[in-house]
Each structure stands twice: as structure tokens, then as C-alpha cells.
Structure 1
Amino acid sequence: MSVPPPSPSPSPSYEVWALAGIPEVRPGDDLARLVADAAPGLRNGDVLLVTSKIVSKAEGRIVRADSREEAIDAETVRVVARRGPLRIVENRQGLVMAAAGVDASNTEPGTVLLLPEDPDASAAAIRAGLRELLSVDVGVIVTDTFGRPWRAGLTDVAIGAAGVRVLDDLRGGTDAHGNPLNATVIATADELAAAGDLVKGKADGLPVAVVRGLGHVLGEGATAAQLVRAAADDMFRLGTSEAVREAVTQRRTVRAFTAEPVDPAAVRRAVAAAVTAPAPHHTTPWRFVLLESEAARHELLDAMRDAWIEDLRRDGKTEESIAKRIRRGDVLRNAPYLAVPCMVMDGAHAYGHARRDTAEREMFVVATGAGVQNFLVALAGERLGSAWVSSTMFCRDVVRKVLGLPEDWDPMGAVAIGHAAEAPRERVERDAERFITVR
């Protein structure tokens, strides 16, 4: 007797559909009750995708607004990028999105909808309500529409979640060919939100969708807040002009460094930024000597220290006073990386007139300072701390001799570079108006 071959395993599949029968939602409505009435056949393992607009309406997040811009201002905690009237901001929920999620569509004229106060809590409340009403264990995702870096167009993503594993971390596993998965973390909740958007539509009056057949995505303890990338890991935290301003304002003088090594490529990128500074007569007055070896740093700093001690003794300072001053100068010695910016005056004009020759040199000094400032700001953008110290300017002959530099290279201080050992102190606010004169 022949035995029939086993039936092939069914291919993975799921169903997704929009719920009909959800009425216009008003403040105070019980969303779990409305969903239960529209979908009494919900099953364990189903995932409910709920548009944030109806959650906001039910929770009374409708405000009168003479101007949508005013509402956006009130909901914004940080401007990420601005282009014309469009603003990408971080809102009170910690979400980075256009217009802080303030929506003037599908609401009465003269009003706007704010996002739910706590979308994760909203999802948890709907889930608990459905468990009580229908005795089912479902996942709930509150969705909203986002744009995305790198990509054109909009899609729905999860801003609140309950009972769903929002992220599927595959790191440590292997692919079908046995290759290790080192960076694969799937945004499961966002994928579900986008699937629901395909059937809900934006203007069809269908604010809720159900996904069936993916019961494995259910799980306890996860929230949509986990989908928001931490600031320290966010490479796109700011727009272009905002990033420039942030790097400038966040640059600090760092005097204590960790032992973590400095990436030489990061310093070279900072040099590339430095040499874009303006300079007179189309010249290039900047040179950067990079002391990457510990031996080179110690040789220079020892020679500078000896020269400084000699100067202080000539000035009549006591040995105790000299020791204190030397200790205060240890910021360069404690840094794992040093750069010595130098000025060259190739292309300078010689006028043979003291006043004009002095002004010519000052132009080159200003241009070199602009390059050093670019360098420091670029280092901050590379997440490297730095401290510009003027000491090499007081012993240029010593520096040139130790580093083997040409006589026409003028050391313009030194920059200590490394990873900050502690958070910088808050910068004292300066009123820009105090530094402005208008004629």
C-alpha cells in the first residue's frame, strides 16, 4: 500500500482588514466599547491598529487654535530642522515628526488635534477594555503618519503599543546562508502599522484595522517608546543648519579626558573643515601638526615645560609658585591626542610700511583663528572634546625645534583632544544684544 506524500507546509500568511461601523468619535467615548461593537469576533492573537486621531478625540485632545502654528509651538520641545514654514520637531511625547503631530484635518474648523498625551497608556487602556468586554487577548497599536529620513512619502508608524513585541531583535542569529546577523533589529510595530494603513486609507472614515495570523508578535512589557532612537545613537538628530548651530553652541573647553583612544580619521575630518575658513589673498595659512604618538607628545611637552620653568625662574617666581603653574598646565599632558595649529604667511604682501605690514599679519592671524575655530567645532561634531591652549605661542622656537618645523611656521597654541571624562558644565547664557552695535 503506497503512502501519499505529506502535504506541503502552508506558506506564512496573515490577513488585514479595516473595521466598518466605527462611528464619529467624540470626547469621552469608550474606544474599547466602540471596537467591541464593531468587531465582536476578535480572537486571541489579533492585533488592533488604531489611528491616533480617534484616540485624541476620545481623550479630548481637541483644542481651539487661532493658528495651527501656535499649537505647534506649544507642543514643541526642540526644533530639529526648519525649511520655510515646515518644521520637524521633537514633541512632548518624545517623537520627532513634522509639526509636532498637530493635525488640522478631520476636525471641526477652528480646532486642531493634538496627539494623545501618552499613546502607550492609551493602547494599554484599549487592550484592557477589550479583554474585559470580549475576553480576548489582543495587541493594540496606536498609529500616526510620519515622513522618514532618506525616503520620500509618508507611512503609518506606531506611536503607542500594548501587548506587542515592538522590536524583533535578530542580532546573534544567522541568515539562511549561515551569515551572522550583527545589526538586524526589525521594527515589527511599525511594519504592522503600515500594513493597517493600506486598508484604512486616509479619507475613508475607517480608523481601525485588524491583523490576524501573526499571533507570534504578541508579547508583554514592550512600548512604542522603545522605537524612539536615543539621542546618543541618533545620527540625524538635527537638520543641516541646526546641526551647525548645535555644534557651535555645544562646543566646550574640555580639560579632563578618558583613556579611550581618538580616531585619527575623525581628527583629519576636522582638519578638512578647518581649511575651509576664509583667508586673505586666496592663501592657505593653516598647517596642523598631529601628535599621534605618546612619545612625540611627551617630547614636546617636556621641552615646553622646561622652557616655561626657565622663563618663570627668570621672572623671579618661587619654586612653589612654579609647581602650581605647571600643574595647571597638565590639560595637554592628560590628553590622548594633541594637534598644534600653525600659521604660515605664504602669499602675504610686503608693503614696507609698519602700519600696513602689521595689518597684513593681523589678517593672517584672524584667518588662522577662523581655521582653529572650525577645527574645534568640527571636533565637537565628531563627539570629541577639545581644549585650545595658547602655550606653544610662548616658546615657538622650542616647538619648531622639537617637531622639526620650518622657520616660517608659527605655532598658534595647541589643541588637546579626547573623549570628555565628565559632562560639561552648563554654559553661562550670553545675551547677544550686549555684543551688538547698530549704526
Structure 2
Amino acid sequence: MSGEVSASPASAGDEGPPSGVPGFRVWALPGLPEVRPGDDLAKLIASTEPGLVDGDVLLVTSKIVSKAEGRIVEAADREAAIDAETVRVVARRGPLRIVENRQGLIMAAAGVDASNTPSGTVLLLPEDSDASARAIRDGLRDALGVEVGVVVTDTFGRPWRTGLTDVAIGAAGVRVLDDLRGGTDAHGNPLSATVVATADELASAGDLVKGKAAGLPVAVVRGLPHVVQGTSGEDEGTRGMVRGARDDMFRLGTSEAVREAVTQRRTVRAFTDEPVDPDAVRRAVAAAVTAPAPHHTTPWRFVLLESAESRTRLLDAMRDAWVADLERDGKSEESIAKRVRRGDVLRGAPYLVVPCLVMDGSHTYGDERRDGAEREMFVVAAGAGVQNFLVALAGERLGSAWVSSTMFCREVVRDVLGLPEGWDPMGAVAVGHAAEEPKARPERDAGAFIEVR
């Protein structure tokens, strides 16, 4: 946005930009009293005689919204309050934590604020900032008869940039995003990725005049009526400004990245038909082959089944071998059909990978015990490679399921895929985009798996 910015309180009658020149004005709203729990913010703002007109945008600091809504809690330990508001730790350095909070916002300390609040208490963010913005907007309409937009703001740090800025965490009656995709620029070039965060731009403009310590928690923007939405239709709020996990390229933090990737890796049983990027799979293989292995060997091979024909041919041959085994075991047709259906996870995936173990570089001792231990070392290394592979796929935002079925018919797999005799298939990995969110994993107490001597 371009235009004039008034950096001091101004009256509603002051002149705006010259006629015909794009621009807007922003000023802090003076005269607002100290906000206390239970206060009606719309009435407090109206009592200052703000001179609001249709099309204005009101920028309200979240702190006074939280105070009015009674989001002040007793907390001798601020860290405990942060824990209670945290959904996920993104990064940690010393006492500083960057977290995802209950509203889906990624910010320091979950937005828990210990400043400008009585000793022994902390201030939490509004529980639903969009609803708070709607209440203020509706209250101003009732009190003053004006149609304005409202943005609730809070202060954020930003990755790779020094300094803080205000952003929108709640909005009502404001077009929060301006999607320019599908249009063209001044040179006729297509715009394919341009979505402007209008609400954030408004929030930062307001912070220029509100300041952090000036005691001016509300600002007004005038001259941008096109960003204000009417009362008809659904109010979008700021929900669409929070990037979903699936599209977030930077979801993982710093030292927590590996741990988060490991814990977020889940077995996916149903996939969409969205194609898998072969380069993403190859990057995952590159991560897999960094696993530890005995004697400086490389005991992993990954067979990538990228064509539907190769997948179908392998799975049909495996099914036939499995059915023959079950018939020899005396299983009924119903039991066989039920068991075979369990293999549908592989058939429903748009991409299959068959990890194989090779014993190249292994030692032979001529002793059954030592030779058995030697193979076990290689099997453990193969498992480590597959685990790396699965975690790397999760980092690529690909779902996976490691199924052991190829281990029961290795000769069939080697024959169908034309693999060397020394390659031992170690299951098959179904790869694709999850059709639905996996079910929550049951909590596991790490202590139950630990013995200390």
C-alpha cells in the first residue's frame, strides 16, 4: 500500500492525500481509558467520539481485548502458562520457545504476556480473536451506526528477519487476503503465487502510530474502503491466514526438527491419486543411505516402482504366492479373501518402493553364532536405513506405510523385478499423499521402555 501516514493523533476532519492520488491515513485514537475485565470495548471506543465513518478500519491491540475478556490468569510460573497454551514446540533456544498455540499461531511464548498486568498474573491471547473482532464491529455499528472493519493485532517476530511487527490475529468485516493469482502484472506477466496479506499490512500500519509504550492501543485507517466487507456473506476472519501443515515448507523448527519429523511420521493406510514427485523420493533415499552400517558397508538398495504396470505386476504375483501359501495352510476361502484384502494399502498407493538388504562387505567366520550375529548387524542397518527413508518422506509431506509382505516371498519379488540373487527384499513401502489425517497415536510413556543399570 502507498500513501500518507499521520504519525500523531489526528481528527477525522484533517485532509487526506491530494485528489486523485492513491493514499490513506492512519492515526492513533486518543482518550481510551484503562481497560478492565468485563468492559465493553465497542462502548469504550465509541465514548471517545472517534469520528468513524463507513469504510474505516479499526486496529485494536490484542492486549486490551484480552483484558476486557478476562484473559488474565494467576500464574506464579509463566512457563506453566506457556505450556498450557502450547500445542507444539517449533524451536527452543535456552528459555525462549517458539511454539504453535491453541489458535494455530506460531509465535514466541504462545503469546503469553507478563507485561502491563498485575504481579503474579499473565495475560493470554483472546480465545477467539475473530469472534472478538466481530463483537467490536457489531457494537460500533449499534452505537455509532457506522460500517467499519476491525482487526485485532498482536506483535510477532519473523524468521530470518530482525525486529518485531504487528500482524492480524483476528478480523471482522475486512478482506484479510487479496488473491491476485490469475491476473497479470504491468508487463502482462501472469501472477501465479501472489496473495497479499492485507490484514497484516493494516496491522503494521497501525503499529506505526500506536507504538509499544505510548498507551494508544487503538488506531484508525481511512481511505481504503475496498478492504472493508459489507455485512452480507460469511465473514472470513483470519482463519485462512494460518498456513496449514500440508502446505508449510518450514513447519519443522531447529533442534526439534529431527524429533518432530520422527514423531510426525505415521503409517498411512489410504492415499489420494495425486502423483508423487519422484525427486522427493530420491531425496528420501539420499537420507536413507546416511544410516549407520557395519564395516563401512552400504547394505541398502531401493527399488522404485514408478510405473503402474510394474506395481500391478509385482502385487499380482505376490498375491498369487500368498494365496497359494494360505491354501497349503488349509485356510478357508473367506479367510484367504480377508487376509488378501489387508494388502490393499500397497495396491492403493500411487508409488511403491522395495528396500533391499545386500550383504556386500560382510564377514564370514565359519561359526554359526558369529555368522548369525553378522547378518543381524546388517539387518539392523537395513532397518535404520528404512527408518531414515520413512522420516525423510514425512519431511517431504508424503505419507507412507512399511508393509512386510515382500519378505515372505523374496524369490517371487526378485524374479518379477529382475533383482540379483543377493538382494533380499525387506518389505515394501507404499508412498503417496494421505487421503485423510491419520488417527491420533496413543500416548506412550518413554519410561516404560527404559531400564537403567
Superposed pair shares fold, TM > 0.5: yes
Task: Note the alpha carbon deviations across 1:151-204, whole angstroms, 9 max, x for none.
Answer: 332110112222222122222222112222222221111101101111111112
Contact 1:40 1:134 survives alignment (8 Å): no
Q: Which residue of 2 aligns with 1:62?
A: 72
- Given candidates 300, 309, 312, the residue that maps to 1:286 is 300
- Given candidates 208, 212, 222, the residue that maps to 2:218 is 208
- Over 3 Å counting, the alpha-carbon distance change for 1:317 and 1:82 in structure 2 is same
Q: Which residue of 2 aligns with 1:194?
A: 204
The Cα shift of 1:251 comes to 3.3
- Residues 1:177 and 2:187 aligned together: yes
- Over 3 Å counting, the alpha-carbon distance change for 1:98 and 1:397 in structure 2 is same
Aligned residues: 431
Distance 1:335 1:222 in 2: 35
The Cα shift of 1:15 comes to 1.4
- Over 3 Å counting, the alpha-carbon distance change for 1:288 and 1:12 in structure 2 is same
Task: Note the alpha carbon deviations across 1:104-161, whole angstroms, 9 max, x for none.
Answer: 1122322222222332232233333333443333222221101223433211011222
Q: Which residue of 1 aligns with 2:4?
A: none
Q: Which residue of 2 aligns with 1:432?
A: 446
- Given candidates 136, 146, 159, the residue that maps to 1:126 is 136
Distance 1:275 1:75 in 2: 39
The Cα shift of 1:18 comes to 1.8
Distance 1:72 1:156 in 2: 20
The Cα shift of 1:277 comes to 1.0
**Correspondence 1:191-270 to 2 at 5 A:** 191-220=201-230, 221-270=235-284
Contact 1:49 1:209 survives alignment (8 Å): yes
The Cα shift of 1:86 comes to 1.7
- Over 3 Å counting, the alpha-carbon distance change for 1:119 and 1:360 in structure 2 is same
Letter aligned with residue 149 of structure 2: G
The Cα shift of 1:252 comes to 3.6
The Cα shift of 1:241 comes to 4.8
Structure 2 runs not aligned, ≥5 long:
1-17
- Which stretch shows the higher mean deviation, 320-329 or 233-242? 320-329
- Which stretch shows the higher mean deviation, 121-130 or 421-430? 421-430
Q: Which residue of 1 aligns with 2:359?
A: 345
The Cα shift of 1:432 comes to 2.8
Q: Which residue of 2 aligns with 1:161?
A: 171
Q: Identity over aligned residues, as a percent?
A: 81
* TM-score relative to the length of structure 1: 0.87
Q: Which residue of 2 aligns with 1:75?
A: 85
Task: Note the alpha carbon deviations across 1:272-309, whole angstroms, 9 max, x for none.
Answer: 12111111122211111112123323333444445555
Contact 1:255 1:387 survives alignment (8 Å): yes
* TM-score relative to the length of structure 2: 0.85
- Over 3 Å counting, the alpha-carbon distance change for 1:42 and 1:393 in structure 2 is closer
Letter aligned with residue 142 of structure 1: V
- Bigger Rg, which one: 1
Distance 2:49 2:172 in 1: 19
Could you say what secondary structure the match of 1:332 adopts?
A: helix
- Residues 1:114 and 2:128 aligned together: no
The Cα shift of 1:246 comes to 4.0
Q: Which residue of 2 aligns with 1:384?
A: 398
The Cα shift of 1:48 comes to 1.7
Q: Which residue of 1 aligns with 2:8?
A: none
Q: Which residue of 2 aligns with 1:98?
A: 108
- Over 3 Å counting, the alpha-carbon distance change for 1:394 and 1:134 in structure 2 is closer
- Residues 1:15 and 2:29 aligned together: no
The Cα shift of 1:371 comes to 0.6
